[in-house]
Chains A and B, each alone.
Chain A
Amino acid sequence: MERSVRATTAEARLRSRTDELERVLAPLPTGALAGESLARAERLLDDCQFGAEFVPVEFGGRLERIDGLGRVVRPACRRDLSLGFGYGLNCYFASTPVWVAGDLAQREWTAALLLGGGRMAVARPAVAHANDFVRDEFALVKDDGRRRLDGAKTAVLNYARARGLTVIASAEDGTHEVLLIDREILPEGALRILHRYRTVGLDGCEFGGLEFAGCPVPDEAVVGEAGQGMGLAVRCSVVTRALLPSALIAAADTVLRTAIRFAVETRGEDPYGPLRSPYGREVLTGALLDLLISDSIALAAARGIHLLPDRVSACAAAAAYTVPKLLQDSAHDLSTVLGEAYFDAKGRYGAFGRMVRDLPLLAQGHAGTAARQAMLVAQLPQLARESWLVDDEPPAALLRPWEDLPPADLAALTPAGSSDPIVPVLSACAGLGGELGELVTAFLGELRKLRGRFAKITPGDGLSTPDTLALTDRYALVCAAAASLGVWREHRDARPGTFLADPAWITGALHRLGALLGLDIPKAPQEDVERRLFDAVLERYEQRRSYDLYETTLAES
C-alpha cells in the first residue's frame, strides 16, 4: 500500500488492510487449496508483503496491535487454514520469543527475514500428555562451555522451508533454552531434514521431521536469559493463545457461511429444510452466537496483552481452551444442515468438511488443552481468594475494538496474574434488569460456587484431578460470558444502534454458555431474540459480511 493513502488511525489502517487482503485473495477458491493453487495463494500473500504483519512497526513491519493481527490473518484463514495459519500466523508464533525477549540483533535479523518473505518455524518442547507434534524435543548439550544441539523432532511446521528456527531445547540439567537458528549458516550435516508428516486435517501444512547432529550453537543464538527458556516459552504462549482463536473463528466463519449457503441454495427442494425447521434455525443462530462469544474472549485476550500484560494470561488460556470446543461443536451441529453435502470433498460445499477436519489439529487436541489448563489451574486458586467478586472491572478500552491501544510491552507479560483480567465485568453488570439481568445473576452464582471450590485448593496441590480440571472448564465458560457481556455493554454505551449493542445477541450468548454450564436458567431465549439472530445470520450471508465482531465485507469469490 502507498504511504500517501495510509489511513490515520490504527482502526482505519486495519480495516483498509483486511479489505485489501480480501480483494487480493478473492480469486481463490475457499477451502480447496492444495498443491499448485496453494502455492499460488502463498505467492499472492508474498506479493502484498504478508510477512510484514508479523513484524512490529518499530522494526519496519505493520504490527501495531495484537487484536489487529488477529483480524488481519482472517481473510487468509477463511479461505484455508493451511494458508492463513500454516503459511501465515504460525510464522508469528515462531517469532514470539524474539519479540518478547530477543536482543536487538535477533530482532533485526527476524524482522529482515519476515519482511523479505522468509518463513519462521518453531520446535516446541515435549510436554506431558504429548501428541506427535509435541512428543519429542531437541537436546542442548554443553561441552567445555560450548553448546550443541542434538536429537530429532517428528512434526515441525514448515520444517523444510523455514530459514529461521526457534528451537526450545532441553539441557541436561532439566532447564530449557530458546535458540534462534539461521539454518543457512549451519555447518554441512548439522541439520538433516527428515520425512514429511502427513495429516488428514491441515493437509496443506508442511509438517515434517528435523534432526540435529552436533550442531554448534553460538552464544548469540540464545534468546532471553540463559536457562530461562521454559519461562519464556510460557510467556510467549500467552500471546499465541490470544491469537489462536482468530484462526479458528475465521475457519468457523467459512463453516457457517457454507452451511447457510447450502440452506439458501437448496431451500426450494425441501419445504422442511433448515431455514424453516426449528432445529435448523437453532443451529444456524447458535453457530453465529458461538462465533461472537469466541471473538469476544479473543478480543479481551488480545487487547489485554496491551492493557493488562501482568494478568491477561488467565483470559488468554481460557480463550484458547474454550474457543476450539465451542466452534467444533457448532460445526458438528451445522453438519445436520448440510446432510449428504457434509461429505462433499470439493465443490461449493466442500470447504465445510475440510474445515471440520482442520479444526481439531489447529487446536492441538488434548495436549493443547492440558497446557492451557496448567496455565489456568496455577492461578485460579489465588484469583478465587483475592480477586473474584472483589476486584474492579477492567478498563473499558479492553472491550472496545475501535479504540487505540498503547504499544504492547511483551516483556511485561507474566505467566500468571494476581487479579482476574475479565470476570469482574460480571459483577459490574449485576444491576441489569429483565431476562439479561437474570442470566447475569445465574453467572454470578456460578462464579461464587467456583470461588468456593477453588479457594479450598492450596496452590500447587491437588491441581491435576478430574474435578479440578472440570472447574477450569467451568471458569473458561464464565470468562467467555464476562467477555461477551463486556463487548455488548461497551457497544451499548458507545456504539448504540449497532448489532452488537442489541441485547438480542448477548441474551442468546449467555443462554448458550449457561446451558453448557448446566445453570438453572430458562431453556431457550424468547422468540423475538431467536428471530433477530436468525435474520442477522441471513443478512450477513446475503450482504457478504463476516460472522465475527467486525462484519468485514467479504470479496466475492
Chain B
Amino acid sequence: MAAPTAGAPVLVSGPEGQWDEVLRPLAARGTVVTYGRVADWLPEETEERVLRPLLGPRDWGRFQRLSHRRVREGFLASRLLLKHTAARVLASSPESVDLAYKPGGRPYLRGCDQIDISLSHTEEVMVVGVTRRGLLGVDVERAERPMVGTGVEFQACTPHERELLESLPERTRNSALVRLWTLKEAYSKAIGQGLRFRFTEFGFTLDDARIRLQRPDGSPGTGPEWSFGTYALESDYVVSAALRDEGFGAAADTAADTTLDQSLLGVLLGRL
C-alpha cells in the first residue's frame, strides 16, 4: 500500500484567498499544505477587540508577551493562516475554532479531530498542513540556510546520511542537508516530538520517487502507513511533509456542522 503524499504547497495570499485551490486537493488526496507570506497575513486592525477572539485566550496572552516585532508578526500571521485554513476546512469561522497545544507544544484543533494540523514558519514564509488521513508534520526552511560545516551533519545525521551527503557534489550538499533536516523536523513534529526525538536515530533517502525513512544503518524504518515529500517553494524555500495514514479510508466530509449524526442525535435528544 503506497499512502498518498501531501502534495505541493498551495499559496494563500490572505483570508480572502484562493480557498478552492486548498479544498480541492484536500478532498481529492485527504491532505493539503498551504503557505503564505507573513506580510500578506498581517491584519490591518490589531486592537484587542479584533485579535483576541481570533487568537483565542491562550495565544492572545502569548502574543502580548512577545516583544520583538518580527517575532510578534510571525506569530500572529502564522496563527491567522492556520486558523483561517482550519476554519475553511471545517466550514466554520476562525473565531470558533479552538487552536490548542499539547504539553509538548504540538498544535491541534480541540474537539475537531476530523483533521490534523501542523505549522511551521521562517521569518517571511509560513506553512500550514492539514490532513484527514491521520497525522501530519510540516517544516519550512530557507533553501540557502547554511548547514554544511556547522556541525549539523554530526548532530542531526545518521552515518548512512553522512555517507549519502559525502557522495554528492559539493555544490548540492548543503541543499541536500537542508532537505534532510526539514524531513526530520516534519516527521518528528508529526509524532508531536519536535527536537526531542533525536535526529541521529532516524534518517531519510532523498530519492524523489519515494522518500523513505530509514534507520541509522540505512535499513527500512517506518511502515507503509508513512509517506514523505519535499517541495521547493518559489526556489527560496524548502518544505517537507510527513504523513501517517491511519487506514480509515477516504472520508470526504470535514465540515464541523455535519460531525454529529442526525439519527444518533435524534435518539439522544429523545426525539425518536
Interface residues of A (CB under 8 A from B): 127-133, 135, 174-176, 198-201, 230-231, 234, 279, 325, 329, 332-333, 335-336, 339-340, 342-343, 345, 353, 357, 360-361, 365-367, 369-371, 373-375, 377-379, 415-416, 459-460, 463-474, 512, 515-516, 518
Binds A, one of B31-39, B64-72, B257-265: B257-265
User: B223: CB under 8 A from chain A?
Assistant: yes
Q: What A residues does B191 contact at CB under 8 A?
A: 332, 335
- Provide the bound-state CA to CA distance between A516 and B245, in Å: 25
Q: If the complex has contacts A335-B193, A465-B96, A470-B110, are A460 and B248 also in contact, measured as CB distance less than 8 A?
A: no
**A353 surroundings in chain B (CB, below 8 A):** 223
**CB of B231 within 8 A of chain A?**
no
- Bitwise, B97-116 to A at CB < 8 A (1) or not (0) is 11011111000011111100
Q: Which residues of A contact B87 (CB under 8 A)?
A: 466
A231 to B114, CA, bound (A): 25
CB distance from A207 to the nearest CB of B (A): 10
Beyond A129-B251, A200-B224, is A378–B265 a contact (Cβ under 8 Å)? yes
Stretch of B6-14, B139-147, B174-182, B194-202 lying at the A interface: B194-202
B259 contacts A469, CB within 8 Å? yes
In the docked arrangement, what's the CA distance between A340 and B104, Å? 20
Tell yes or no: B216 within 8 A of A by CB. yes
Whether the Cβ atoms of B261 and A201 lie closer than 8 Å is no
A127 to B259, CA, bound (A): 9
Taking a contact as CB atoms under 8 Å apart, the answer to whether A466 and B109 are in contact is: yes
Docked complex: B212-251 residues within 8 A CB-CB of A? 213, 215-216, 220-225, 245-249, 251
Residue pair B257, A133 in contact (C-beta under 8 Å): no
Q: Is the CB of A464 within 8 A of B258?
A: yes
CB–CB A470/B246 < 8 A: no
Q: Which 4 A-B pairs have the closest CB atoms?
A: A132-B249, A131-B248, A378-B268, A469-B111
Say how far A534's CB is from chain B's closest CB, in angstroms.
Answer: 17
The smallest C-beta distance from B199 to any residue of chain A, in angstroms, reads 10
Q: Enumerate chain B interface residues (CB-CB to A < 8 A).
A: 1, 58, 87, 90, 92, 96-98, 100-104, 109-114, 132, 134, 191-193, 196-198, 201-202, 213, 215-216, 220-225, 245-249, 251, 253, 256-272
B267 x A234 contact (CB < 8 A): yes
Q: Find out whether the CB atom of B260 lies under 8 angstroms from the CB atom of A377.
A: yes
Q: List 30 A-B contacts (CB under 8 A).
A: A130-B251, A132-B248, A201-B247, A332-B191, A333-B104, A333-B192, A333-B193, A335-B197, A336-B196, A339-B197, A340-B216, A357-B225, A365-B134, A366-B113, A366-B114, A370-B114, A370-B260, A373-B259, A374-B259, A374-B260, A375-B268, A465-B256, A466-B90, A466-B96, A467-B96, A467-B97, A467-B98, A470-B110, A472-B111, A518-B101
A340 to chain B, nearest CB (A): 4
Q: Report the minimum CB–CB distance from A231 to chain B (whole Å).
A: 5
Which residues on the A side are within 8 Å of B263 (C-beta)?
174, 176, 230
Q: How far is the CA of A470 from the CA of B56 in the complex (A)?
A: 12
Q: Are A340 and B248 in contact (CB under 8 A)?
A: no
Provided the pairs A127-B264, A332-B191 are in contact, do residues A518 and B1 lie with their beta carbons within 8 angstroms?
no
User: Contacts A343-B221, A470-B110, A516-B103 hold; do A329 and B192 have CB atoms under 8 A apart?
Assistant: yes
Q: Give the residues in chain B near A199, CB-CB below 8 Å.
A: 247
Task: Give the chain A neighbours of B266 by CB distance below 8 A.
Answer: 230
Q: Which residues of B contact A460 (CB under 8 A)?
A: 265, 269, 271
Given A371-B261, A415-B267; 15 other pairs, CB 8 A cutoff = A128-B261, A133-B248, A230-B266, A234-B268, A333-B193, A340-B202, A342-B201, A365-B113, A371-B264, A374-B268, A379-B268, A416-B268, A466-B111, A470-B109, A470-B111
- Minimum CB–CB distance for B195 against chain A, Å: 10
Give the most central of A133, A325, A336, A474: most B CB within 10 Å: A336
B1 touches A231 (CB 8 A): no
CA separation between A366 and B253, bound complex, in Å? 11
Contact B259 A370 (CB under 8 A): yes
